[in-house]
Amino acid sequence: MAADAVRGTMMERIGIEWLDIGLERVVARIPVEGNTQVYGQLHGGATAALCESVGSIGTAVATGLEKIVVGIQLSVNHLRAVTDGYITATGVPLRVGRTVAVWDFRVHDDEARLIASGTLTVAIRER
């Protein structure tokens, strides 16, 4: 992922690092530090932003970067609290169609414990 593409975006703000971007899966991580709520635990919104970014970038790659992709429905189940290290989201496309894509996510901490799961529906539009 080109640094210019995320400059000034939420992806830059949450500290996203792209680990694998492909047609079969997209993997990215963010640090817990700087993405916490007032109790020192990872903020659920940061997890959601990570998942939506993974699915959006994955859909953009699958459509050849020629379309506009926007999340239209996101569901994240937060399963375990995290207070340090990184969280890593792995997104797998369930379907990438002409106008809609659906992604499945698993989010793990540094100890490979499942901390969240979710789904994202993305609208695919002409530029």
**What positions carry a catalytic annotation?**
52
Cα end-to-end distance, the chain, whole Å: 20
Give Cβ neighbours of residue 111 (< 8 Å, ≥ 6 apart). none
Q: CA 23, CA 92: separation in Å to the nearest integer?
A: 9
Dihedral sign for Cα atoms in the order 90, 77, 52, 63: positive
Round to whole Å and give the CA distance between 14 and 25. Answer: 21
Task: Identify which of 41, 3, 14, 23 has the alpha carbon closest to the alpha carbon of residue 93.
Answer: 23
